Each structure stands twice: as C-alpha cells, then as structure tokens.
Chains A and B, each alone.
Chain A
Amino acid sequence: EDQVTQSPEALRLQEGESSSLNCSYTVSGLRGLFWYRQDPGKGPEFLFTLYSAGEEKEKERLKATLTKKESFLHITAPKPEDSATYLCAVNSGNTPLVFGKGTRLSVIA
C-alpha cells in the first residue's frame, strides 16, 4: 500500500528565511510524485510532478527535488503570500493519488 509521510507538520518562518519541507514515500513502482499547494477553504492547487530520482523542478521561490525515498520542497526567501499548506502525493500504476497530511507553512513579515 502506498504511503506518504510529510514533515514537519507545521513550519513558521520569517520572511526571507529559506527552508525545506520533507515528503517520505513508500510505493511499489513510482509513477509520479506530486506537490500541491492548498490555501484555507480552497481545493489543492497543482505545483509540480517529479518522475525519477535526481529530477528537479522550479517555480518562482519553490524548488522540488526527488530521491528514491523522499522529496524535498525547498523554499527560498519566502514571502508572506507563500503561507499555505503544502501537500505531497504519489501514485503507482493506475492507482489514484495518495496524499500526505501536508505541512502548514506560515511566513511572517
């Protein structure tokens, strides 16, 4: 059974203070690892797909990386508008997405 564990559960950063969020996964035959952003009261918003170890994707202040066991979402010089819950998800074969519980990020000005 596919499993995703995200850490930390919550992270509080000062504006400009870079950090990383972790996503550890167990899956039989990774088809893709996905990062989503979710604002309060909204549905998740797709950010990145990573397919194989060593792959990296970037978007503005966010960079996602992938190893065989985990993924990191690096946030460089975050701004208050980056505050959200960041969700990691995996799928294998044709199975539906399995999400982690998310990391709740707060960026303080």
Chain B
Amino acid sequence: DTGVSQDPRHKITKRGQNVTFRCDPISEHNRLYWYRQTLGQGPEFLTYFQNEAQLEKSRLLSDRFSAERPKGSFSTLEIQRTEQGDSAMYLCAHPTGDSLNTGELFFGEGSRLTVL
C-alpha cells in the first residue's frame, strides 16, 4: 500500500524557533526518505532511513537538522534555530509498492515551512 501523511501541512515560525515535522506512512516500508523543495526547484535529497537506521545524510543537512525513525515506522524531522533559508516544502517519501527500485517513490503532500 502507498500513502504518506505529513503533519503539519503548513508551519509559520519566527527565525530562531525550533520546528518538528512528522511523517507517517500508512503501511510499513523499510525505506523512508526526506526531501526539501524550494520554489521553482526540484526536490533535493536530505536523508533516508532503512528501518530505524539513518543510512545517508546530504550535506544540505546541517547540524541544526536532525531526523529520527525510532520504531522503523513514522519519522520526524526537526530543525533547530530556524533561518529564513530553511523556508521550503519538506517532503517525505517511501518506495512504491514492492519495487526495489529506489527511484520509484511515493511522496506525501509535504509540510510547508515559512520562516519570518
């Protein structure tokens, strides 16, 4: 089954505040991905999990970003001390169906962050 719930859908915060996004796949998937998309750009890879293990992190993921997937199901992405440059859509995704092809992803509708 495919399907991803992301919460919140929209978040407006002041610079310097911390924010947390949550991603809930509707069924179990070993792999879970986080991407970031700014206006007029394609999604950019941030990090991915294989079950509970965070296997790869992009250099875009500064020390202010942390992601977890404690039980291998839902995942959280936290941004500390937000900056205006963090304003973007944060997308969560998992592989489609039984495909082992890591390029065939089902994306959630995203969490849009605006940092004032």
Contacts and interface: CB of A to CB of B under 8 A. Distances in A.
A32 B42 CA distance: 17
B41 A97 contact: no
The interface residues of chain A, by DSSP majority, are classed as strand
Max count, chain B CB within 10 A of own CB: residue among A46, A49, A87, A101: A46
Nearest to A47: B104
Contacts of A89: 42, 103
B103 A44 contact: no
What range describes how many residues of A lie at the interface?
Answer: 20 to 34
B56 to A, nearest CB: 7
Contacts of A102: 42
Nearest to B47: A96
B103 A34 contact: yes
B86 interface: no
Interface residues of B, number: 24
Interface of B: 4, 33, 40-45, 48, 56, 58, 91, 93, 96, 101-110
Contacts, number: 57
Nearest to B99: A49
Interface in A1-25: 4
Given A91-B102, A97-B45, A45 B107 contact: yes
25 contacts: A4-B42, A32-B101, A32-B103, A41-B110, A43-B107, A43-B108, A43-B110, A44-B105, A45-B107, A46-B96, A46-B104, A49-B103, A87-B42, A89-B42, A89-B103, A91-B102, A94-B102, A96-B33, A96-B45, A96-B56, A97-B43, A97-B103, A97-B105, A99-B42, A101-B42
B43, B44, B104, B107 — which one has the most chain A CB atoms within 10 A of its CB? B43
